[in-house]
Amino acid sequence: QSKEPQTAPEEATKTPVHTHSSLMWAVDWGSCSLGVFICLACSGIHRNIPDVSKVKSLSLSHWEDHEVQFMAQNGNDLMKSKYEAAVPVYYYKPTHKDCQVLREQWIRAKYERKEFSEPGKNFTYEEGTRDGMLMKRGRDNGQFLSRRFVLSEREGTLKYFTKYDAKEPKAVIKVDTMNATFQPEKIGNPNGLQITYLKDYSTRNMFVYHDSGKEIVDWLNSIRAVQLHYLKVAFPGATDAELLPRLTRNFLKEGYMEKTGPRQTEGFKKRWFTLDHRRLMYFKDPLDAFAKGEVFLGNKDHGYNAYPGLPASAHCNGAWQHGITIETPDRCFLFTCETESDQQDWLKHFTDVMSATMSPQEYTSENEELFNGH
């Protein structure tokens, strides 16, 4: 799983947090009306809700004595216990790495709408069904058009229809094979959501957005609620902690590399790569509906390995020189990266995935990949 911290960005303490020897965020701001210390990125969001949060700089603003006293009496831990008293277990709590819309809606949900302050509240994400219109990117022409989406807890599916009153859905997506992750830069919309699902053993991409940040984040959390319900029925003995990693997840890494074909004599071609846990998918274009191919990354004890460089026999005619070789039980895959730092970052992710213990479901995926010749 991704090594992202579970702490939401505005929950920083006054002590800067370090990971991997680099400064993650420094806390230079405070909300004197809420009694919490906040980072620079979240201070802008707090400023957008002035009726709720009054933001001041810790070093540059003038603080009244009663404001200092209020901060001392409250603070992040106490306010977290108040405003996060009843966060549903499936709710996606963003980190400092997440996009603006996720962080903004998390802050608004907590402090403006006070969604999580009272235990026993009914959440819009848990209504069992969600029915609404989303802008969906056309697979062939790239145009975004309004489409009806229906999420059903009872059926464990997400359906979409090309017309609002269409009787038959264009696609029926099973929630257990589905992922959803925000991709604003790739989609070109701040509320852009990428939905992926398995279709005939291949991964299908769908790109959607909604003009309302709240609406699109509500869709994500509704999907997660339905997924958790489905998993609890399928695995009645499992704990929430065991099931949560199987809800929607962010990709481990995405970016361009060059690759060559199975004979290793073809030219290296630039492709967009997405690492989704054990699936390394490659596309001609980042917004392609289907991957051109997928590489399953199993455990290193089963004949999977990744190392820098290319075999001496490889004919590297590409523009990029920083090679990576991935060994699988079937064959070797050869890639090149533009920079050494990119090469090292990809290698770290590949090594981490191959070192992780495989789940029974992943063994099934590996057998399907081998059976289908991927």
At residue 371, the 3 state secondary structure works out as helix
SS3 assignment for 275-310: EECCEEEEECCCCCCECCEEEECCCHHHCCEEEECC
User: Which are the contacts of 179, defined by CB distance < 8 A and separation ≥ 6?
Assistant: 195, 196, 197, 248, 249, 276
158-169 tens-digit pLDDT: 999 999 899 999
- Output the CA angle 321-350-291, nearest 5 degrees: 80
pLDDT digits (tens, 9 = 90+) for 180-189: 999 999 999 9
Q: Is the pLDDT of residue 20 over 90?
A: no
* Residue 23 predicted with pLDDT over 90: no
Residue type present at position 18: H
Q: What is the DSSP string of 160-224?
A: EESSTT-SS-SEEEEGGGEEEEE-HHHHTSTT-EEEEEEETTEEEEEEEE-S-HHHHHHHHHHHH
| pTM of the predicted model as reported, rounded to 2 decimal places | 0.86
Position 1 confidence tier, pLDDT thresholds 50, 70, 90: very low
Identify the band that residue 121 occupies on the pLDDT scale cut at 50, 70 and 90: confident
Domains of the chain: 29-84 (1.10.220.150), 129-240 (2.30.29.30), 253-372 (2.30.29.30)
Question: 312 and 233 in contact (C-beta within 8 Å)?
Answer: no
